Amino acid sequence: MSTSLLIGNLFSFLAVACLAVSAVKQSKKDLMLWQIGDPFFGILSTIALSAYAALVINCVGLVRNFLAYRGILTKKQTIIFLVIGVIFGLFANNLSFIGLLPIIASAGYTVCVYITKNEQQMRYALTICTILWFIHNFYIQSFPSALANIILCVWIIKQIIKYRKNFTKKCLT
């Protein structure tokens, strides 16, 4: 295994760990704080793994997540992030169809981050994004990251069920 593959996998694991922590947070602000770490470590990972469309998407995601955490993400900024992510992601795509998956995941999540104030809906969107990233990571041979994506999906779904049960209990009392 090459050094760049090992380094890329290490940073990708750290990115997924940040997402896992975010899934248990009970407020959107706390969720977004941990999700700043995801694209930060994702940038380092995609540089090491030469996945340039994902690199662009992670750069856009880092700024988007920071603004969402600060509560200053506007509609205009959301549109700009969508356009930048799609255009530059397509331009940097060196992986054909597989390179489109991070672009699709990021575009969908960008809209979700802006539209929803509900952390449960954020968990649903995060599950879909994680599945798309799993396919991408598997293809670029980031196997530990792909495995971590599967574990993260199961973890997020577990959190969705947990918070749904808590919500139902609150509504019934």
Given the structure tokens 């050094």, which residue do they identify?
A: 3
For residues 17 and 40, the answer to whether their CB atoms sit within 8 Å is: no
Q: Where are the domains of the chain?
A: 3-172
The CA-CA-CA angle for residues 140, 151, 71, to 5°, reads: 90
Q: State residue 144's pLDDT score.
A: 76
> Which pTM value belongs to this model?
0.79
For the stretch 1-59, pLDDT in tens is 689 988 998 998 899 889 889 988 888 899 999 999 999 999 999 999 888 888 988 99
pLDDT the model gives residue 128: 95
| Mean pLDDT across 131-154 | 89
Give the model's pLDDT for residue 36: 96
pLDDT tens column, 153-172: 999 999 999 988 776 666 66
H helices of 93-142, in order, are 96-115, 119-139
Q: Where are the alpha helices (DSSP H) in the chain?
A: 3-23, 28-49, 52-70, 75-92, 96-115, 119-139, 143-172
